[in-house]
């Protein structure tokens, strides 16, 4: 039996007092009694310390358990945390522990995770660029940056053109958003996919007006067009536009994912491995999605460990669409933390082949990266905004 001896959380970052997007990450390390180490990652945005504290509680519950018993271990945590399935902090903390457990399992068996889950369906993973439009405000800003992305080899790019509008959007806001999207479409041509990020911040009427303005630019999908809790608003949106809907980053269990699919409210599911229960639960969600002919486009906006485990899933799932990637726009220390182990080549990520998650963590960096606290709080720009875009021109 490979017993869990310690589960630890590290809040890591550099330049935490700056407004740099994704300046923090919460890294989770699981160590076993025979010296095996596995790595996971969990959410940071405005809740890093709370999630790190949940990891400590999970350590109390799971210490001494067999790391291979991922289903039993989940049930054990669920038994003790009465609110797990309705708590982001609890579920995301456990997700990281589950990911780290599978990292250990892969290392113990000498195989990358994708081989344990079903083998390869593809040798490389088509990705779309995100994070590329920092400080873009005017349409020409978006256009020039978009041209650079295409020159880097990307075949798809996502962006949020809506500036500071929240819940409602005015005619001025619609005009500006359309000008930005039109500029990007003209800059990249018709053979590059554009994906429109809404960040789940509009009511149904505003989102429908947006859709009617932007449908002529042929977006691959509209991401989270409606507030995530507004199911009736999403239904209204579905009935008033033919544009395809992507959502799911804020879903925290398979039952929630099933609801959206049964109701026919999602075309592309953006489940996030560090929010929905890690490897163990994500594999179930992928299977459910396959039965509904829903393709997977995993949310992947945090750090290098989440990126690595997500690529392992992309390698084997049959219902794959495209993968979000911030990799080229990570702070450099995030790439260095895994020895630049998942680079992008001409718009594709190559699947890492090392045992476990496929990447090695540079533990020598940890002491210099440890910080306390949360991301820099800017009252003028929420932490989920790509830096410098929360304004009109």
Quick one: tokens of 186? 């003209």
CB–CB of 132/344 below 8 Å? no
Residue 299 annotated to the active site = yes
The pLDDT of residue 377: 79
Alpha-carbon distance 191 to 195, whole Å?
A: 13
Any bridge partners for residue 320, and if so which?
296
Report whether pLDDT(371) > 50: yes
User: CA 225 to CA 206: how far, in whole Å?
Assistant: 9
Give the pairing type, strands 348-350 and 124-129.
antiparallel
| DSSP, res 320 | B
Q: How many CA atoms lie within 13 A of 16 on its CB side?
A: 16
Catalytic residue among 80, 198, 199, 227: 199
Local structure of 37: helix, strand or coil:
strand
User: pLDDT tens across 287-320, in order?
Assistant: 999 999 999 999 999 999 999 999 999 999 999 9
Which residues is 324 bridged to in the sheet? 128
Express each pLDDT in 54-92 by its tens digit: 999 999 999 999 999 999 999 999 999 999 999 999 999
Who's near 216: CB < 8 A, 6+ residues apart? none
| 157, containing H or E segment | strand 156-159
CA distances from 266 to 98, 232, 295, 296 (A): 27, 13, 9, 11
**pLDDT at res. 286:** 98
Residue 17 pLDDT exceeds 70: no
Q: What is the pLDDT of residue 23?
A: 78
Can 227 be counted among the known catalytic residues?
no
* Residue 134 reports pLDDT greater than 90: yes
pLDDT at 18: 41
Q: In order of start, what are the domains of the chain with their CATH numbers?
A: 4-111 (3.30.390.10), 115-358 (3.20.20.120)
Condensed to tens digits (0 to 9), the pLDDT of residues 162-188 reads 999 999 999 999 999 999 999 999 999
**Encoded tokens for 243:** 């544009």
Three-state DSSP state, 224: coil
pLDDT at residue 203 tops 90: yes
Catalytic residue chosen out of the listed positions 80, 198, 227, 299: 299
Q: What's residue 252's pLDDT? A: 97
Q: Which residue has the tokens 């630019």?
A: 217
Residues 6+ apart with CB under 8 A from 364: none
């Amino acid at each position: 039996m490979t017993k869990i001896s310690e589960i630890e959380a590290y809040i890591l970052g550099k330049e935490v007092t700056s407004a740099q997007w994704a300046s923090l990450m919460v890294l989770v390390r699981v160590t076993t009694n025979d010296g095996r180490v596995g790595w996971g990652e969990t959410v940071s945005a405005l809740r890093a310390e709370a999630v790190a504290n949940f990891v400590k509680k999970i350590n109390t519950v799971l210490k001494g358990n067999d790391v291979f018993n991922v289903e039993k271990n989940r049930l054990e945590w669920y038994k003790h945390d009465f609110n797990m399935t309705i708590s982001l902090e609890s579920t995301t903390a456990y997700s990281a522990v589950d990911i780290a457990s599978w990292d250990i399992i892969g290392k113990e068996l000498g195989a990358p995770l994708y081989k344990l889950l079903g083998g390869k369906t593809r040798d490389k993973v088509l990705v779309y660029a995100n994070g590329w439009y920092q400080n873009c405000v005017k349409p020409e800003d978006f256009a020039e940056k978009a041209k650079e992305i295409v020159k880097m080899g990307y075949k798809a790019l996502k962006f949020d053109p809506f500036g500071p509008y929240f819940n409602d959007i005015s005619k001025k806001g619609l005009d500006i958003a359309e000008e930005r999207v039109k500029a990007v479409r003209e800059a990249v041509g018709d053979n590059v996919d554009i994906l429109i990020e809404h960040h789940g911040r509009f009511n149904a009427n505003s989102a429908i007006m947006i859709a009617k303005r932007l449908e002529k630019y042929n977006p691959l999908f509209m991401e989270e067009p409606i507030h995530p809790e507004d199911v009736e608003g999403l239904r209204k949106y579905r009935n008033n536009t033919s544009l395809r809907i992507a959502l799911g980053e804020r879903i925290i269990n398979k039952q929630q994912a099933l609801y959206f699919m049964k109701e026919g409210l999602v075309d592309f599911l953006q489940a996030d491995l560090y929010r929905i229960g890690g490897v163990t639960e994500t594999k179930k969600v992928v299977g459910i999605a396959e039965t509904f002919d829903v393709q997977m486009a995993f949310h992947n906006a945090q750090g290098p460990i989440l990126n690595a485990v997500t690529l392992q899933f992309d390698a084997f799932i049959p219902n794959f669409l495209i993968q979000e990637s911030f990799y080229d726009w990570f702070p450099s220390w995030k790439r260095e933390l895994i020895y630049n182990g998942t680079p992008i080549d001409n718009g594709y990520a190559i699947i890492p082949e090392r045992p476990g998650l496929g990447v090695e963590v540079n533990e020598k960096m940890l002491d210099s990266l440890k910080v306390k606290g949360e991301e820099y709080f800017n009252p003028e720009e929420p932490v989920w905004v790509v830096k410098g875009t929360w304004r009109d021109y």
